[in-house]
Structure 1
Amino acid sequence: MPVKDLLVHIDHGRASPARLDAAIALAAAHDAHLVGLYVLSRPHIPGFIRTQIPPVLLKHQEEALGTSARQAEEHFNDAVRRAGVKGEWRCVDGDPEPVLSLHARYCDLCVVGQRDPEGEDATMDPAMPDRLILTVGRPVLVVPKVGDYPVIGKRVLVAWDASRLATRAVNDALPILTAADHVSVLAVNPRGGEDGHGDIPSADICLHLARHGIKAEAEHVYADDVDVGAMLLSTLAAEGADLLVMGAYGHTRWRELVLGGATRHILEHMTVPVLMSH
């Protein structure tokens, strides 16, 4: 199924302009409709504290929120107009994760930003983007908090472990993989057995991709002393890839938070946009 409906999360953080540019580039490449979603999220202030805040300060806060939203809308409309992309602006009250999850269910791909603890957005939702990836039911493209990404999906690396999540990610990424110039499928420390890889790791999924007209290279590496996430980042750099495709949270999220895992490592240290599915 082609990508025809994109949604991008817009905020007033430092990474938002580059995220919008990346979403516009994808929309233009796939002749897709682009929804820009701005969530009017207010800091959670306990009632007993709010009663002690002068009303004039609360009024100024509301005015500042409205001004930021209007500036973001103007920037979005100007950017899509200059790019010749079909765009639609939405501004919704609420918390980012549930609002995005609701709206993204009616799109083919949701574009969000990497969590930026050092950013200036005081209303940043701590559930983003992790919980969104787990709950939305759609593929999520996470754009790094630093850098510009005008080209996404020309050289793609697929992280393959023969799991349900990896299978879902590959299927979700098919429209992008079809348009790519180069696709590599990498299995890190592949295992055999009934629930593992075949005789040649990554070969079976590459054969499936070939039937979709996608010429993919099967790769595998054994490196028990290297973290899977670190190996993926190293391979991305070595191959000059501009997109990573992977399943997200093969283990429970709390287990990855406590013990670490490939998803957590990539979300914290990503160097290129990552398409994740759960």
Structure 2
Amino acid sequence: MKNTTILVLQGPDGTTADLAPVVAAAHAAQGRLCVMHLGPVPLLTFTMTAAPYAVPVIPESWIEKRNEMAKRLSVKQSETRDHLVKEGLTGEVSTLCVEPAAMHDQVAIRALFADLSVVQNSLRSDSNAFDNVVYGLLFEAPGPVILNAEARKNALAPETVMIAWNSSIHAARAVRAALPFLKSAKEVLIASFDADPSRYGDGDNPGADLATWLSHHGCTVTVEEYVTGRKSTAQAIEARAQEHNVDLVVMGAYGRSHWSERFFGGTTNAMVKQQGMPVLLAH
């Protein structure tokens, strides 16, 4: 998609080499690349001085850790700015050094005017930070999110795309968000798992209407139905994606409560945690 703005979320151990796929995508789209270096810091706990004034006292150890992280991010910011200049790309480079629980709304604000957000695996070193960033991008920002772009060299310029289709509004939003990728791909596979044709009124063959719509956009489409058997839906999605050697999986995210999936498990939660397959998510 021409003139795309891509937002990249990178952890404190991320490198300029990690940016290679998104740099290539930005060049191909004549787009802008905005990089945000995230540094999670420990939860702040403080004590109170004695009455009557009771002034809060912030531990020096916390201040030291916060300042150390801020310095690390500042170095990363300078390196990335130099790298983008060298690559001839426009954009901006910023840092965010806060507790993980405060990250979701901050990254969501940055993503408001991005066409696509890419969360890099260097952020997975802090699972709380990673989860909060993904939550903020999915629930508080308008664009799609791509995870594990590092896992396939063509993840951001996919030749083969698999849509995990269940006829839901979330899946439909993901397909619309992924339309530029689908139109440029050589092959699009619409995969339904344990399909229930009567549930959403999607006709006798779930995915057929979607295939007609995508074909009208010029996509080369195949529709397949799969039975998960003893596998979970997430495991079945990964297995079929590996079998067809797809570059990107497209799926709706959190069709049921985010907290329900987080505590009891679910397809979205499992696909967010896996690192072997690039996946585009939209809620």
TM-score of the pair, normalised by structure 1: 0.85
Residues 244-272 of structure 1: per-residue CA shift (max 9 Å, x gap): 11000011112222332110111122412
Aligned to 1:53, which of 55, 59, 68? 59
Per the alignment, do residues 62 and 257 of structure 1 end up closer, same or farther by CA in structure 2, a change over 3 Å counting?
closer
Identity of aligned pairs, percent? 24
Structure 1 residues 123, 180: closer, same or farther in 2, change over 3 A? same
Aligned partners of 1:85, 1:116: CA distance in 2, in Å? 23
Aligned-pair CA distance for 1:180: 1.4
In structure 2, C-alpha distance between the alignment counterparts of 1:43 and 1:123, rounded to whole Å:
11
Decide which of 101, 111, 116 is 2:108's aligned counterpart: 101
Tell me the equivalent position of 1:151: 154
Whole-angstrom CA distance in 1 between matches of 2:211 and 2:79: 41
Deviation string for 1:206-226 (max 9, x for gaps)? Answer: 110111111121111123432
Match status 1:81 vs 2:88: no
Change in 2 beyond 3 A, CA 1:214/1:43: same
Whole-Å separation in 2 of the counterparts to 1:235 and 1:100: 32
CA 158–62 in structure 1, closer or farther in 2 if over 3 Å, else same: same
2:232 maps to 1:233: no
Using the alignment, how far apart are the partners of 1:70 and 1:231 within structure 2? Answer: 42
RMSD value, Cα: 2.8
The answer to whether the 8 A contact 1:190-1:196 is kept is no
Say whether the 8 Å CA contact 1:97–1:132 is kept in structure 2. yes
Quick check: 1:108–1:139 contact (8 Å CA) kept in 2? yes
Higher CA-based Rg: 2
Q: Distance in 1 between matches of 2:71 and 2:58?
A: 25
Q: Residue 138 of structure 2: which of 108, 130, 133 is its match?
A: 133
**CA offset at residue 58 of structure 1?**
5.5
Q: Distance in 2 between matches of 1:263 and 1:122?
A: 16
1:1-278 matched pairs, under 5 angstroms: 4-13=4-13, 17=16, 19-39=18-38, 41-48=40-47, 51=57, 53-54=59-60, 57=61, 60-92=64-96, 94=98, 95-113=102-120, 119=125, 121=126, 124=129, 126-143=131-148, 148-152=151-155, 153-193=158-198, 195-278=200-283
Equivalent AA in structure 2 for residue 104 of structure 1: A
Unaligned runs of 5+ in 1: none
The 8 Å contact of residues 12 and 123 in structure 2, kept in 1 or not, is answered as no
Q: SS at the partner of 2:166?
A: coil
Provide, for residues 195-245 of structure 1, a one-character-per-residue CA deviation record: whole Å limited to 9, x for no partner: 143222222111101111111211111234321110110011111112111
Residues 122/191 of structure 1: CA separation in 2 closer, same or farther (3 Å cut): closer
- Residue 156 of structure 1: SS of its match in structure 2? strand
For 1:251 and 1:124, how far apart are their aligned partners in 2? Answer: 22
- The 1:271/1:171 distance shift into structure 2, 3 A limit, reads same
The SS at the match of 2:263 is helix
How many Å apart are 1:18 and its aligned residue? 6.0
* Structure 1 residue 174 displacement after superposition: 0.6
User: CA–CA distance in 1 between the matches of 2:19 and 2:134?
Assistant: 16
The whole-number CA distance in structure 1 between the counterparts of 2:230 and 2:128 is 39
Is the Cα contact below 8 Å between 1:39 and 1:92 reproduced in 2? yes
- Correspondence for 2:53: none
Contact 1:154/1:180 (8 A) holds in 2 = yes
- Segments of structure 2 that go 5 or more residues without pairing to the other structure are 49-55
How far apart, in 2, do the equivalents of 1:67 and 1:18 lie?
20
